[in-house]
């Protein structure tokens, strides 16, 4: 296990460097856009005087490099804008301050994260189950009706836009059949049943869309796996078909599936923009889109960096799980 510890230390260090480079890139890109956040903050009529005041208050009058350094410093030490009674505090870890929303970006992200996480995690469990089981069924019935059906479902899944499927689901199950709520989010802590009830449609919609790639991956991987010599060995030992497939075959299939799963989930946790919009859920995706609309650069940078962080984290977790699933993978 010391191997694993060293592996983690090295990977975390590398992740930190990547995050740093990324933050600089993101910062430069978004601060290069020809829009002046101070202009939006200064209100109307905006006298040159007040604009200058706003700029100074938001620390936009400093050089780009200085602004970036302030940003980095804020992550560890927090930041204070202005002074005296009008001062605005942003506690560490401070990933910027949204003046339009009058909240620290960190708080905004943490407020929205449970919604996005609820959507993403529930859907992920569903699509993993659907994708892997349909993929296995398809592989075992290669060329037959069940295989064609599964592959057909996969094809429809990959080619349907999420807003179309989402709106259709709302129309049919929400309005026509009146089975499920059409929008809104109830926190889990308030009522777990209502939480799930409000989320079930987005879960299913997202799961159907995502399951497609899992069906195809599982199917092709399982077909390959079933041709391997050790599958013949398992049969020669007297293992039944179920055991051959689930114990000996599936293990090798799970390695690439888990890799894809980790990356998909990491990406989705950063905000399911279209799904959140369709189901009127105020998650991270919604936060990001609104911020873009209002030129709220601090939020855009914060959410983008947070999404990037999740993907880097997902990669790390995938690598660790990979080592657990496949004893040939060495973390040394």
Partner 1 sequence: MAEPVLEVHDLKVTFRTENGSVPAVDGIDFAVAPGQTLAIVGESGSGKSVSSSAVMGLLPSNADVTGEVLLDGRELNGLPADELRKIRGNDIAMVFQDALSALNPYYSVGWQVAEAYRLHHDVSKKVARRRAVEMLDKVGIPDATRRADSYPHEFSGGMRQRVVIAMALVNDPRVLIADEPTTALDVTVQAQIMRQLDDVQDEFGTALILISHDLGVVAEVADDVLVMYAGRAAERGTVRDLFFRAAHPYSLGLLGAMPRVDVPPKPRLTTIPGTPPAPGSITTGCPFQPRCAYTHLVGERCVTERPELTPRPGEGDHEAACHLGRRPADA
- The C-alpha atoms of residue 320 and residue 330 are separated, in whole angstroms, by 10
Q: According to CB under 8 A, which one of 79, 112, 216, 248 is a site residue for partner 1?
A: 248
- The C-alpha atoms of residue 251 and residue 246 are separated, in whole angstroms, by 8
97-98 vs 88-90, strand pairing mode = unpaired
Q: According to CB under 8 A, which one of 130, 212, 234, 278 is a site residue for partner 1?
A: 234
Burial of 150 (C-beta count, 10 Å sphere; 0-12/13-18/19+): buried
Distances (CA, A) of 44 to 38, 48, 163, 296: 12, 11, 37, 18
Identity of the residue, 156 or 329, whose beta carbon is nearer to partner 1 in the bound complex: 329
Identity of the residue, 33 or 228, whose beta carbon is nearer to partner 1 in the bound complex: 228
> Within its chain, how far is the Cα of 71 from the centroid?
24
Q: Are the beta carbons of 44 and 35 closer than 8 angstroms?
A: no
CA angle 167, 168, 169 (to 5 degrees): 90
Q: Output the smallest distance, CB 257 to partner 1, in A.
A: 14
Q: Which residues contact 231 (CB under 8 A, 6 or more apart)?
A: 225, 244, 248, 249
**236 is an interface residue for partner 1 by CB under 8 A:** yes
Number of residues interacting with partner 1: please give it, by CB under 8 A.
20
Stretch that binds partner 1, among 107-115, 148-156, 172-180, 229-237 (CB under 8 A): 229-237
Stretch that binds partner 1, among 169-177, 193-201, 247-255, 312-320 (CB under 8 A): 247-255
**142 is an interface residue for partner 1 by CB under 8 A:** no
Compute φ and ψ for 265, nearest 5 degrees.
-65, -45
Q: Output the smallest distance, CB 255 to partner 1, in A.
A: 9
Q: According to CB under 8 A, which one of 235, 277, 322, 331 is a site residue for partner 1?
A: 235
**259 is an interface residue for partner 1 by CB under 8 A:** no
Q: Output the smallest distance, CB 143 to partner 1, in A.
A: 12
**240 is an interface residue for partner 1 by CB under 8 A:** yes
Burial of 198 (C-beta count, 10 Å sphere; 0-12/13-18/19+): buried
Q: Are the beta carbons of 58 and 99 closer than 8 angstroms?
A: yes
Identity of the residue, 49 or 229, whose beta carbon is nearer to partner 1 in the bound complex: 229
**3 is an interface residue for partner 1 by CB under 8 A:** no
Stretch that binds partner 1, among 77-85, 175-183, 192-200, 321-329 (CB under 8 A): 321-329
- In terms of phi and psi (left: phi > 0; alpha: psi -120 to 50; beta: otherwise), the region of 82 is left
Stretch that binds partner 1, among 25-33, 67-75, 225-233, 258-266 (CB under 8 A): 225-233
Identity of the residue, 289 or 325, whose beta carbon is nearer to partner 1 in the bound complex: 325
**229 is an interface residue for partner 1 by CB under 8 A:** yes
Q: Output the smallest distance, CB 60 to partner 1, in A.
A: 56
**253 is an interface residue for partner 1 by CB under 8 A:** no
Residue 98 β-bridge partners: 103
**146 is an interface residue for partner 1 by CB under 8 A:** no
Task: Work out the widest C-alpha separation in the chain, in whole angstroms.
Answer: 86
Question: Rule CB under 8 A: which residues touch partner 1?
Answer: 228-230, 232-241, 248, 251-252, 325-328
């Amino acid at each position: 296990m010391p191997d694993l510890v060293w592996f983690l230390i090295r990977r975390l260090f590398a992740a930190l460097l990547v995050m740093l480079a990324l933050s600089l890139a993101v910062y430069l890109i978004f601060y290069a856009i020809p829009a002046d956040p101070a202009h939006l903050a200064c209100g109307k009529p905006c006298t040159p005087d007040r604009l200058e005041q706003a700029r100074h208050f938001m620390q936009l009058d400093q050089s780009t490099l200085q602004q970036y350094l302030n940003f980095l410093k804020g992550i560890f030490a927090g930041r204070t804008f202005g002074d005296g009674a009008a001062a605005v505090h942003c506690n560490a870890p401070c990933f910027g301050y949204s003046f339009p929303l009058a909240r620290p970006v960190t708080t905004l992200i943490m407020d929205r994260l449970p919604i996005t996480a609820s959507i993403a995690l529930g859907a992920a469990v569903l699509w993993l189950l659907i994708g892997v089981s349909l993929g296995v069924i398809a592989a075992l019935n290669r060329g037959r009706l069940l295989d064609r059906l599964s592959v057909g479902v996969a094809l429809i899944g990959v080619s349907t836009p999420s807003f179309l499927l989402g709106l259709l689901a709302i129309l049919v199950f929400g309005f026509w059949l009146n089975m499920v709520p059409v929008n809104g989010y109830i926190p889990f802590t308030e009522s777990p049943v209502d939480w799930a009830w409000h989320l079930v449609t987005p879960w299913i919609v997202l799961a159907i869309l995502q399951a497609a790639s899992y069906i195809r991956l599982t199917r092709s991987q399982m077909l390959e796996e079933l041709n391997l010599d050790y599958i013949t060995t398992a049969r020669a030992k007297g293992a039944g078909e179920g055991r051959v497939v689930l114990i000996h075959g599936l293990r090798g299939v799970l390695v690439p599936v888990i890799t894809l799963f980790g990356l998909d989930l990491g990406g989705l946790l950063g905000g399911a923009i279209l799904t959140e919009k369709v189901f009127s859920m105020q998650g991270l995706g919604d936060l990001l889109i609104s911020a873009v609309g209002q030129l709220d650069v601090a939020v855009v940078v914060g959410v983008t960096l947070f999404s990037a962080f999740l993907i880097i984290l997902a990669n790390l977790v995938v690598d660790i799980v990979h080592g657990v699933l496949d004893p040939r993978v060495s973390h040394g």
